[in-house]
Structure 1
Amino acid sequence: MITFLIRAAIFVVSAALGLIVADLILPGFYLHWNDWWGFVLAVVIFAVLQSVLAPWLFKITRRHANALIGGIGLVSTFVALLIAVIVPAAGIGIDGPVAWIIGTLIVWLVTALATWLLPPLFIKKRVEERRS
């Protein structure tokens, strides 16, 4: 159970990192920093949708369009961003097609790297704590 919670926290942190990096380096992709609740809501909406959409899209794609499996992460990131932008209370905005395309790539890349690099750090600590 603890490992599941650590993985969930890492996924939420990776989603926040992806959105923050896109906000910092991409014009047209912005987070509303004046409303902290909107930022938290955007991160939670994005993280939950991403975690639900990726496996679902993978299953659908594997069944109907096997050649497109490699793009599942990008598609689920785009759809999660789209829904997060549509929610009025979420503190995220994306203006223009370039910001949508590059923003999707940035968020996908940062979240992928974070979910790959962070778990060994935290889970390794947890294993060492159990051994002692």
Structure 2
Amino acid sequence: MIIFLIRVLIFLGSSALGLWVASLLLDGFHLTAGGFVAAVVVFTVAQSVLSPFIAMMANRYASAFLGGIGLVSTFVALLIASTFTGGLTVDGGAATWIAAVVIVWLVTALATWVLPFLLLRRRLEERRAGGPRPA
């Protein structure tokens, strides 16, 4: 159960970071303070549900697209989050959408890889040292 909660926190954190970085880099990508949490939760849930489904569909019907599953699921999750929350809007046309998908996908992928090391570093150090350290 603890590992599941850590994974959820990592996914939420990486999604928040990806959306935030996209909002900093793109003029047409807007997050509102009040809707940020809702946008992150909706994006994370959509991404988590859609990735395996899109991978299965691509594997079955279009195996050449398997490498782009992350980009496709990021696009669909952004579309859902912008449609169903007031916290995320994407203006500026196709170029902004494409840039947003690439930025959010890249940042979330990197964060999902790096965050476990940052969050679990102390635990790994304790394990290597042979036990918990005094606080």
Aligned equivalent of 1:107: 104
Is the CA contact 1:85–1:94 (under 8 Å) kept in the aligned structure 2? yes
In the TM superposition, residue 55 of structure 1 has moved relative to its aligned partner by 0.9
TM-score (norm 2): 0.88
Is the CA contact 1:32–1:39 (under 8 Å) kept in the aligned structure 2? yes
Q: Between Structure 1 and Structure 2, whose CA radius of gyration is higher?
A: 2
Deviations 1:2-47 (A, max 9, x none): 11101110100000000000000111001012xx2x1100000000
Aligned equivalent of 2:7: 7
Aligned equivalent of 1:90: 86
Aligned equivalent of 1:122: 119
Aligned equivalent of 2:44: 47
Percentage identity across paired residues of the two chains: 58
| Cα distance between partner residues in 1 of 2:125 and 2:94 | 47
Question: 1:70 aligned to 63, 67, 70, which one?
Answer: 67
Aligned equivalent of 2:16: 16
In the TM superposition, residue 118 of structure 1 has moved relative to its aligned partner by 1.0
Deviations 1:37-70 (A, max 9, x none): x110000000000011011111111111111100
| Cα distance between partner residues in 1 of 2:22 and 2:121 | 29
Deviations 1:49-108 (A, max 9, x none): 001101111111111111110000000000000011111x43000012111110010000
Aligned equivalent of 1:26: 26
Task: Give the count of matched residue pairs.
Answer: 128
Please, which runs of 5 or more residues in structure 1 have no aligned partner?
Answer: none
| Cα distance between partner residues in 2 of 1:100 and 1:119 | 29
Please, which runs of 5 or more residues in structure 2 have no aligned partner?
Answer: none
